[in-house]
Chains A and B, each alone.
Chain A
Amino acid sequence: MVLIKSLPQLVLLYAVINKMCGVYGLLSFLTGHPIDAVQWVYYLSSTAVMVLYIQGFRRVQTPNINWFSLVVFVYLLDTVIGFLYTGYFSWLWFSEHDNSVQLTARAVTEDLSSQSASEAYELFVTVALTVITSLVRLYFTAIMLAFFKEMRTAAKFDARFRISSASASSSAVRWLNKAQHQSYSLLNRIV
């Protein structure tokens, strides 16, 4: 019986694991591996988003709506933009790797060729995996939105789930609070 509380916890942990790619991508700065502007933006944003998800994950046992409207909204945004990135990176990969070269290599080793995957099989699995991960991502987004919705319902009984404004001391806190309010009102328009 894993219920609404445990699922966002898992979804956020999976998201943190995947967003770790940002940190490792940024390490290319040290190893001198060339990456383009889109990749820079992708890795920087992944790292930032990962930090936010870690904050969400730490608070998931005792959630409050301020943090979670921000987390859920970023998750939604991340899904949408993530699809664009997936499209771009697929194009990047398939334009770089010309298939004709491998076909001749395959013809040489005829006797053992049954043990290696055919070009069509590899392409099929790649596309299938991409589609499956995208669907899982959509499902996870639905879970996060449902969590937000549940929270809004719970707000009728529990003050913890009502959006609050910080009596802001520092500008960072004020800015964070503003972002939380923004995402709250945007999410309210969607779900």
Chain B
Amino acid sequence: MSSISSSPGTKIGYNPIKLILRLYAEFLVAKKQNNLLIELNHDFKPTLKHFRNLSRAAVINLSIIGSVFLFVLYVLPISFLLKLLLAFGLGLLITVPILSQFFLFGLPILAWVFLFFSAGKIPTSWKPPISVKILPSMETILYGDDLSDVLASYTSKPLDFVAWFPYGIVHFAGPFIVAALVWLFGPPTALRSFGWSFGYMNLVGVAIQQIFPAAPPWYKILYGLQPANYAMKGSPGGLGRMDGYFGVDLYTTNFSNAPVIFGAFPSLHSGISTMNALWLSYLFPKYSPCFACYVCWLWWSTMYLTHHYFFDLTAGSVLAVTFFFVAKYQWLPLRKADCFCRFNYYRLEYEDPLQNDPLNYEARLSMEDAVELDDATSSGESTPVDDDATVESSLFTA
């Protein structure tokens, strides 16, 4: 055993070069020890092998995503040939092993992106009526005042920049960075849960936005509580001021022609930032207060830039929390504090709500018995990280 893997808990700084070198060293060690968990599939030959013996959950998952794709293909105003090509491309993504090992679990995200960008092409006659008053009234009824109005009532140039940074920059780059971090520093297979929770949260969010179209606060500022219609253009809200400062049309055109204009509820800005924060807290629990602060910062910017009511923000965050916890308790392996990165995991352990329930005394009793049994039978099979926790938690290994 090399000196590196024997001390996986050692502190290392934030020097990116050192980090990369450390990751590479851990990778080499894992390779040498033949860690099968981190093996990637390099096969190019399309196969349907991974679709055999699907669990019921997987079938439901694939049917939901399949129907979203079918709907999008039906709605898109492109030629039949192009639609066939698109379907063929999707087929390749999920059958060629080197791609499918990532994209199969990223399908919810792809479905969301497809649905979002084709939402503008859904025939107007299919769309439900747009509400303009429900959100402001819910905001007052549940939270006591027009909170979004309160925060947008004073604007200044420095504040514009403070609001723009999380809303216009981090929001778009964040998920990619978090996904990369989850892949590198989470246990193997954690990225699947990220794909599922992130994708479904957005998919459900966009679906709600279609079923329940509602006007954002900038609408109330521009038109009051007048009735809305689908011929109306979008507005960048407060982000329009940024275009003025930079002299570049970054947001005005994009937001005016956005595929979803009346999609105030729920706020996926809020949802995505909360999802990022939850995943980062899972990876680096020490810094979770910072991640929570980031969510608060983004909440403030969405209201300051007149893009969302407070009710949209709470709804978005609640969606994110719900999907994160479902993924966490269903599929997410436990993160071990003494594992530096994915290459340090030699076995995966899962959360067992029944065994871990602090109030369930009987379960805890039986677990203690089982641990002793386990200790006697499988202690010969030691792992690089040989402490008590591993033996105890080996019970939960799937």
Contact residues of A with B, CB < 8 Å?
Answer: 1-6, 9-10, 13-14, 17-18, 20-21, 23-25, 27-28, 30-33, 35, 38-39, 42-43, 61-63, 85-86, 89-90, 92-94, 97, 102, 105-106, 109, 112-118, 121-122, 125-126, 129-130, 133, 147, 150-151, 153-154, 157-158, 161
Contacts and interface: CB of A to CB of B under 8 A. Distances in A.
Interface string B88-132: 000000000000000000000000000000000000100111111
A106 to B, nearest CB: 5
A125 B154 CA distance: 31
Contacts of A114: 129
Given A5-B358, A14-B318, A17-B318, A116 B145 contact: no
Contacts of A35: 145, 150
B101 to A, nearest CB: 28
23 contacts: A1-B353, A5-B357, A10-B321, A24-B299, A25-B147, A27-B151, A31-B150, A31-B151, A31-B154, A35-B150, A86-B142, A94-B137, A97-B225, A102-B226, A112-B229, A114-B129, A116-B229, A122-B134, A122-B137, A126-B138, A126-B141, A129-B138, A151-B359
B329 A25 contact: no
A18 B131 CA distance: 23
Nearest to A101: B225
Nearest to A26: B150
A127 to B, nearest CB: 9
A25 B145 contact: yes
B278 to A, nearest CB: 9
The 4 closest A-B pairs by CB, nearest first: A116-B227, A112-B229, A21-B143, A117-B129
Contact of A125 (B134, B143, B150, B321): B134
Contacts of A129: 134, 138
A114 B322 CA distance: 35
Given A89-B144, A102-B225, A106-B227, A126 B358 contact: no
B133 interface: yes
Contacts of B149: 33
B140 A118 contact: no
Contacts, number: 172
Contacts of A61: 358
Given A116-B130, A116-B228, A92 B140 contact: yes
Given A1-B353, A14-B321, A33-B149, A24 B129 contact: no
Contacts of B356: 5
B310 to A, nearest CB: 6
B314 interface: yes
B325 interface: yes
A33 B154 CA distance: 9
B321 A4 contact: no
Nearest to B352: A1
A112 B322 CA distance: 37
Contacts of A6: 325, 329, 353
Given A3-B354, A30-B154, A112-B227, 13 more contacts: A6-B353, A28-B145, A28-B150, A33-B150, A35-B145, A43-B144, A93-B137, A97-B133, A97-B137, A115-B228, A116-B227, A122-B131, A157-B361
Nearest to B154: A31
A24 B353 contact: no
B53 interface: no
B353 A121 contact: no
Nearest to A21: B143
Nearest to A14: B318
B137 to A, nearest CB: 5
Contacts of B303: 24
A95 to B, nearest CB: 11
A157 B128 CA distance: 56
